[in-house]
Amino acid sequence: MIGFLVNPIAGMGGRVGLKGTDGEAYFEALRRGAKPVAPERAARFLIRLEKLPLDEEILSPPGVMGENYLHSRRLRYRIVGSLEKRVTTAEDTRRFSRMMADMGVSIMVFVGGDGTARDIVSAIDAEIPMLGVPSGVKMYSGVFAVNPEAAARLLYEYLRGNAELVDAEVLDIDEEAFRRGRLSIRLYGYARTPMITGLLQGSKQPSLLGEEDENKRAIARYFAERYYKQCTLYLLGPGTTVKAIADELGVEKTLLGVDAVYNGRLVGRDLDEKGMLSLLDKYSRAVIVVSPIGGQGFIFGRGNQQISPRVIRRVGLDNIIIVATRHKISRLDSLKVDTGDPSLDEEFRGYIRVIVDYMEEQVMRVT
């Protein structure tokens, strides 16, 4: 049996710039007009799964935590427990996880982010494997597949005995500190996770303090000399390497947000999707500058969901600049995208240049 659980509010804070939906952030996301993300991610996973010759029965909670996405699929499933509340909580995740674990599931599959992974790992026996269908704002843990389709393939191969189990880190951040521009990551435990290279994303690796600073400054100088132009809007993504570029340009940047620069002046700070689209209506030429997540290689879809498919299409794939230190690139075999739009993800497939030092660029494959 397979346990299948959906956190229906996971990821809602991404495009509205909230960097998560823990606690009161969920209601703020609603106020800002956020739309659910998890239902579409769950549907993509299940659509791919039903195309595979799966024999196992799926156990799932009722309503928005599972049943709603299974009833239209040609899969064998059984609903367990009851759900009375309209707004689900972390305790619901833990309660249903324990229930399905006690019923003897072979693996727990969930749709959510780091917070969901943290809740599940605290509720079930450490010997029960778990696998995440990525749907959160920040997914730094090593239990997530690279996208919903990869999760379906990885689950199937594991059940057929073709995937090994590894001990993956379950990480989560302090969201309040994150919104204030401080990244505080804590290790909450380890989970047994099926692994096939290219299907599982791995956990985020921290930046080296001090050692890479000169490399970042060199990248920033090269960017300013070679790529920075007047009368162009620059959307600067999160991260310390991109912040070094802002420092070189003489503007103050939020470390973990998306900021906009035009003609040497900050014209947008910690922007959400709506704010970026508004600026793109005003400025005719724009460039997106981002850096991949260390250890994972995602340039879009992890921690920068406010740079949405609509924003990317408006800017154009030819107007995206990737920057990364030598150390970060040396630990990646490819770059990845998981924008939420499969057709856009497919357009990225191929090769892209990455600025890795002063007057030095490296071609990387995008998967």
Using a pLDDT cut of 90, give the percent of the chain over it.
Answer: 74
pTM of the predicted model over 0.75: yes
Place of tokens 């397979």: 2
> What is the pLDDT confidence band of residue 172, given thresholds at 50, 70 and 90?
confident
Pick the range with the lowest mean pLDDT from 19-33, 45-59, 261-275.
19-33
In 3D, which of 284, 358, 295 has the Cα closest to residue 329?
295
Q: Supply angle C-alpha 205, 207, 212, rounded to 5.
A: 140
Residues 217 and 245 sit within 8 Å (Cβ to Cβ): no
Tens digits of residue pLDDT in 193-248: 999 988 998 777 666 556 689 999 999 999 999 999 999 999 999 999 999 999 99
Q: For residue 139, what pLDDT is reported?
A: 82
Classify domain 213-366 by CATH architecture.
Answer: 3-Layer(aba) Sandwich (3.40)
User: 298 pairs with which residues across the strands?
Assistant: 336
Q: Residues 172-192: what's their mean pLDDT? A: 71
50 — phi, psi (to 5°)?
-70, -10
Contact partners, residue 254, CB within 8 Å, separation at least 6: 181, 238, 269, 270
Q: In whole angstroms, what is the distance from residue 49 CA to residue 153 CA?
A: 7
Query: What 3-state DSSP class applies to 299?
Result: strand
Of residues 11 and 321, the one with the higher pLDDT is 321
What is the domain partition of the chain in residue ranges?
2-195, 213-366
Q: In whole angstroms, what is the distance from residue 367 CA to residue 364 CA?
A: 10
Q: For residue 136, what pLDDT is reported?
A: 84
Give the best-scoring range by mean pLDDT among 46-55, 81-90, 131-140, 169-178: 46-55
Q: For residue 81, what pLDDT is reported?
A: 93
Q: Supply angle C-alpha 85, 86, 89, rounded to 5.
A: 70
- Kindly tell me the burial class for residue 28, based on how many C-beta atoms sit within 10 Å of its own C-beta (0-12, 13-18, 19 or more): middle
Tens digits of residue pLDDT in 281-328: 999 999 999 999 887 899 999 989 999 999 999 999 999 999 999 999
Give the DSSP per-residue string, 95-114.
HHHHHHHHTT-SEEEEEE-H
